[in-house]
Structure 1
Amino acid sequence: MLKRSRALASVALIAVVTGLSAPAWAETLQEAIALAYQTNPSLLAQRANQRALDESIVQARAGLRPQLDITVSGNLSQDFGDQNNVPFADPYSDSASASIGLSQTIWSGGRIGHGITAAEADILAGRENLRDIEQSVLAAVIQAYADVIRDTEVLGIRQANLGVLQRQLEEASARFEVGEITRTDVAQSEARLAQSEADLANAQAQLSVSRASYAAVVGQSPGDLAPMPVLPGVPTDFDNALDVALQDNPGVRSAAYSLRAAEANVAAAKAEYLPSARLSASYGGSNQDFDRIGDIADSTRLTAGATLSIPLFTGGLNGSRVAQALERANVAQINVEGERRNTLQSVSSAFAQAISARASLEAGAEAVRAATVAAEGVRQEAQVGLRTTLDVLNQELELRSAEVTLAAARRNEYVAQANLLAAMGRLEGADLDPTLTLYNPVDNYQRVRNRGALPWDGIVETIDRILAPPIVPANDAVDAPIDQQLKSEIVQTAPRN
């Protein structure tokens, strides 16, 4: 009895500490999502990666602009004499020169234009990867939220069971004192009470684990969590869910944009066979004496001209680059089909799990109802001698098991629905909370795209695309030219696009 009293005191202390460590305010799923949306490290890191990727459009468009450089050089020489070792009168000589050069590419056969197209496609693929990380984080928030609610409920069940078994042991001890039951009945009650104490400790440990997981993904320890709200947009038809997933799943969309980038890179590799035209100008002068660097130069020259470069032989380099780009486009095309298959598997699995969890939830609710009636009946029958102490203990155990199973089924259904929405591409911040202040990656793109732009960028880009190798889409369903599609998609303000 002394050991049992110490164990009960330890359990009570743990429960008190848990209650003191939990915040007193209520917390909703929307609040947890909003906090994770603003502070989750994985999500913040992916946003930073996307901003870094946005810089690729600045680098690609830099080819449309002139290059300006300054060249400064100096030379010092010493003569040691003629062939007869007769020294010169002035064996030392020096010179200095400085010039400024300006060059502008007029036409590169499409290398610059296709590079811009590939950069835009890569940025769009990056946005879809950001969507994927966002959905993974929010799915983790939902799972952590549901886990804490489930484990809190299980802890309450274990605490209630401990109280019932304590009273059962007291009743058994009293009945043993008056000779109504045997010592065996008391021992059975003690054994079940000891097991209940172990179950309560395990429930407390599991709740601590779930609270830690919640704090890791959300950014703060859970308080008094509100009931789980209904998730919006959960489908009831599998075909409809699959159609939406093949359209909106971020993995499928990212693979499609990566394919477009690969197709643009093929066209850029083919453009290496074409000539390129540049305009250039330079101005500079030189002095034959370091001491006169600050004086007027001995000679000053202004040079302007145009250059047409035609590749004739590259030792197989261009052909190898084209072959390499084609194979990479082939890989990108295969990846599109792979993502479609993965999406089909994810939707099928999540949909089946949601249906199974719903059936388990309904069965669990019925089991709790029936076990509650049975437990009350067995207790009453035991009072009149129709049931043994073991019967009462067994029925109590069955009732608590049914309640724990129901709590787990409620959590499993909710998480399965969240996973189904994630597989469909419908578990973003805006889907879960319309009032959430959203992060829009388009804002940063529009901010950096025209950094360093000059008035004639558009003219040079238009000229560069003239007679450039066309981008041949691997997907025959693409009707509009790829570069026009990308330009219309990349400036969309909706985060999903």
Structure 2
Amino acid sequence: MLDKSRLAAVLSFVSAGFLAIPGTAFALSLEDSVRASLTNSLSLSASRNNWAAARDNIDTAQSTREWRATGTLSGTHSKADAASATRDGFLDSQTGSATLKLSRNIYDGGQSDENLILRTMQRDIAEARYLGAEQQVILATSEAYLDVIRASREVALNDANLARLGEHVAAAQARLEAGAVTKTQVAQAEARLSRAQTTLISSLAALSSAEDAFLTLTGLAAEGLETDIVPASMPATLLEADDLARNAHPDIQLANLNLAASGQEFRALLASLRPTVAFSLSANETMAEGTRSDKTELSANVTLSTPLMPTGSVRAKARSLSSGLEATKMERADT
């Protein structure tokens, strides 16, 4: 059976091997780790793509003011019972027509302007979410970096403590053989050694978990981490820190933008209920049997349209926006 002193030596060797870090040409700094995690983060990539989608969606706000071109082709074939028919008692006729129409809204009730403001706000919301995701990645990487350093130092401390207690046990056994101490005192020293062994094993597991978390975030092995970290400049007072957070924190900006966008959605809905003025040009060519039925028509139209009463879907949309506005107000107050 392995005695206490030999077990202490084995654990000391294992911890020393665990702490042995292969030499690297350059030490891995916190800045390098954060840069790697920003590149490696899938959540940040998703937020970046969401921002790009919101940016490109701004152009859709002009859809109510765009020119639209439509084309129609139609043809008919009919048989009519007629006394003058010379074939089977029926008179055949064919007709074909082609129509080309070009139209746009001269006035859309302000929909394009209100939608442009709304789409811009939605882009700003996506940008705030991206900044929030970026901040979370930076904080998580910094914590993982410091966790590895702290866990490494704890392992080194526990390893030194284990070696020291192993020497105490060996000395106690020698003094026991000399009759200077009792077996109880030796047992107490061995108990302290056992606790130190357990603590070392626990710290080794914590270090392994910290290194795994660091690898997951950055895609880099936790080797040769720089321990001399220059502290960043901090606000001098708590009030300055509070003002800085209220003005620059992504969560605060996101809450403010969500509240503004909820109000803008109401204005966009109201704009869709206003009268619109549309202008259209159309050309129609009709061809039939005989030349008397052939004709070419050109027309220009100006159409005024206005909803006479709100539909059920509009009322439901208004209720939904009202509930959403109240929710964003509460979220803003809770931020």
TM-score range, shorter chain: 0.7 to 0.9
Which residue number in structure 1 is paired with residue 108 of structure 2? Answer: 108
Q: Tell me which residue corresponds to 1:366.
A: none
Q: Which runs of 5+ in 1 are unaligned?
A: 290-296, 340-497
**Pick aligned residue for 1:328 from 304, 316, 324:** 324
C-alpha distance 88-21 of structure 1, shift in aligned 2 (>3 A): farther
User: What is the match of residue 227 of structure 1?
Assistant: 227
Measured in 1, the distance between the counterparts of 2:333 and 2:208 equals 42
Map 1:57-456 → 2, pairs under 5 A: 57-75=58-76, 77=77, 79=79, 88-90=89-91, 94-227=94-227, 229-288=229-288, 298-315=294-311, 318=314, 321-322=317-318, 324-339=320-335
Structure 1 counterpart SS, 2:20: helix
- Match of 2:42, as an amino acid? P
Give the 5 Å matches for 1:476-491.
Answer: none
Cα distance, 1:253 vs structure 2: 1.3
- 1:165-189 alpha-carbon deviations (Å, 9 max, x no partner): 1222222222222222222222222
Contact 1:95 1:287 (8 Å CA) reproduced: yes
Kindly name which structure, 1 or 2, has the bigger radius of gyration based on alpha carbons. 2
Seen in structure 2, the aligned counterparts of structure 1 residues 109 and 167 have a Cα distance that, compared at 3 Å, is same
Q: Shift of residue 284 of structure 1? A: 4.0
Which range is displaced more, 44-53 or 4-13? 4-13
Partners of 1:11 and 1:277 lie apart in 2 by 86
Are the counterparts in 1 of residues 80 and 90 from structure 2 also a CA contact under 8 Å? no
Letter in 1 for 2:13: A
RMSD: 2.9
Q: Aligned partners of 2:185, 2:68: CA distance in 1, in Å?
A: 95
Normalising by structure 1, we get a TM-score of 0.59
Contact 1:270 1:322 in 2 (8 A): no
Question: Is the CA contact 2:51–2:126 (under 8 Å) kept in the aligned structure 1?
Answer: yes
Do the aligned residues in 2 keep the contact of 1:270 with 1:318 (CA within 8 Å)?
A: no
Q: Secondary structure at the match of 1:224?
A: coil
Compared CA separation, residues 167 and 315, structure 1 to 2 (3 A): closer
Equivalents in 2 of 1:183, 1:327: separation in Å? Answer: 76
Deviation, structure 1 residue 164 = 0.8
Q: Secondary structure at the match of 1:68?
A: strand
Residue 18 of structure 1 and its aligned partner are, at CA, apart by 5.7
Paired amino acid for 1:39: N
Aligned sequence identity (%): 26
Per the TM alignment, residue 10 of structure 1 is displaced from its structure 2 partner at its CA by: 5.9
Aligned residues: 327
SS at match of 2:90: coil
Q: 1:140-170 CA deviation, whole Å, 9 max, x = no partner? A: 0111111111100000011111111122222
Q: Greater strand share, 1 or 2?
A: 2
Name the aligned partner's letter for residue 57 of structure 1. I
CA distance in 2: counterparts of 1:20 and 1:315, whole angstroms: 71
- What secondary structure sits across from 2:180 in the alignment? coil
Moved more, 105-114 or 267-276: 267-276
Structure 2 CA distance for partners of 1:321 and 1:6, relative to 1, 3 Å? closer
The superposition leaves residues 364-420 of structure 1 with CA deviations (integer Å, 9 ceiling, x where unpaired) of xxxxxxxxxxxxxxxxxxxxxxxxxxxxxxxxxxxxxxxxxxxxxxxxxxxxxxxxx
1:68 CA drift (Å): 2.2
Structure 2 unaligned runs (5+)?
A: none
CA apart distance, 1:7: 7.1
1:27 alignment partner, SS class? coil
> Which residue identity is paired with 2:175?
R
Q: CA deviation at 1:305?
A: 1.9
The Cα shift of 1:135 comes to 0.8
Q: Residue 288 and residue 202 in structure 1: after superposition, are their counterparts in 2 closer, same or farther (change >3 A)?
A: farther
Please give the alpha-carbon distance, in whole angstroms, between the structure 2 residues aligned to 1:109 and 1:81.
53
Contact in 1 for aligned 2:64/2:108 (Cα 8 Å):
no
The aligned residue for residue 44 of structure 1 is 45
SS of the residue 2:229 aligns to: coil
Give the direction of change, closer, same or farther, for the CA distance of 1:65–1:181 in structure 2 (3 Å limit): same
